[in-house]
Structure 1
Amino acid sequence: MTSPDLNSYHPDLIIEQATNGWRIIRLNRPKSLHALDESIVSALLSVFEHFHTDSPFLLHPPKCIVMRALEVPQWGGDTAFSNAYLVYEDLSPGMKNLLDGLDVVYSGKEIWSRNEKLPPEKRLRLRETHGFSEEELENIHPAVRIHPRTGRKALFATSAYFRHFVGWSEDESRSLLNYLQSLAQHLHYHCRVKWQKDTLLVWDNRFTLHRGIHDFKYEKRHLIRTTVVGERPVSSRDQ
């Protein structure tokens, strides 16, 4: 699950320092959400309940996610995945050409700013201890990224921390994003994982969208995870 090599593993926005220098994140509901400010919870759920990739606002978003289930509810709490390669490949040639030329502004500054105004007991464990500045939480990435080895293209326009397409207004950007997000909902792109105790799952965060299914109310769901640092996203324009 974890590695003592902190140069290879990615510190997360919500983080708990484990023993032996390993870094993990604990996803522990309902306990973890109850301890947070309601506005922060609402902002987080608005991200996590839609298909997304993790931390796209970073200059080097995570390459892959490693997650293990410690406790699971009797029912519900699945994680759904959507194939970002196929979403892109099924687009019309005109839409592909449009998206190939677009960049996206991603920003984690809003949650950071809200968090800083809260009393300490209500704050997320943001990365003050890991040397991150607020300026590093906003970056521009291509809307369509390519695999660094295969050159295969995939959609990289995700609702998580999305601000706007470069050169577009927020309203214009949101209209296109909503359409793209609706495509990711199509079931023929999906895989759905039902967690059992000690299920260990690894997925490619660059080319796979995911979302939690929050249908287990107040039953306990306790997962731990770590993330591997990825490369800076590039498009066909960069080659």
Structure 2
Amino acid sequence: MLSIRDLLDAGTLNIEIAAYLLAIISTGNSFLVGARSGGVGKTTVMAALLNFIPDIDIVATVNSQVIENGLWDPDFKCFIAHEIGRGSLYAYIWGKDVANFLKLAKKHMIAGNLHADDIHEVLEAKGIDDANLSNLHVLIFMKMTGQRGFTKRRINSIYENQWLDGRNEFKQIFMWNEKEDSFKKLTVSKLITVPELKRSRSIIEKIIEHDLRTMEEIRPMILKMINQLER
């Protein structure tokens, strides 16, 4: 399983994006990773980002009953859907289960994958609408270019829900310039502060400086940062 360091080395994202996502996810914000095509790296990116979550229980296998129980669970947890899509595969959800999964984000943290390249395609998934999408904080979209043996997998765009008058207002925070293979910040985050972003960037830089590569090496440093903030 790849870590955030592996993704940085591969150019999937840069330090600025990694710091932003660390600041976002370490405070318990919910996110989805999307790409219409298979094999782009949705699950890989989600797994690496789950290393950033707070020190809470993870419910890795969601199904109808688990989601229903979560709606009544008073303890803050992280629920993971391996795929928002049709099928009876492990932790796949669709329709009513998706709607209830997004309801979980009102009092829990959720993370998941789906086949969508943009917000319009997210809303085409059965069970997702404007109302329950408002429970989400961040949408991350992936893109793969090139041919076999020379492919690039990149975070193509990141949208943050900045809510306007109680309604969804997803603003694009980052975009990938395919021609230059570079990332650009477009909008200032309203979910995290400048000090939080600086603190997270210092952690990412330490991960690189100390050559930490595995999740087992990186996770303790993340938890140390989170625990220091909670004191």
Normalising by the residue count of structure 1, what TM-score does the alignment of the two structures yield?
A: 0.25
Higher helix share: 2
Which has the greater radius of gyration?
1
Which has the larger share of strand? 1
Tell me: higher relative CO, structure 1 or 2? Use CA pairs within 8 A at least 6 residues apart.
1
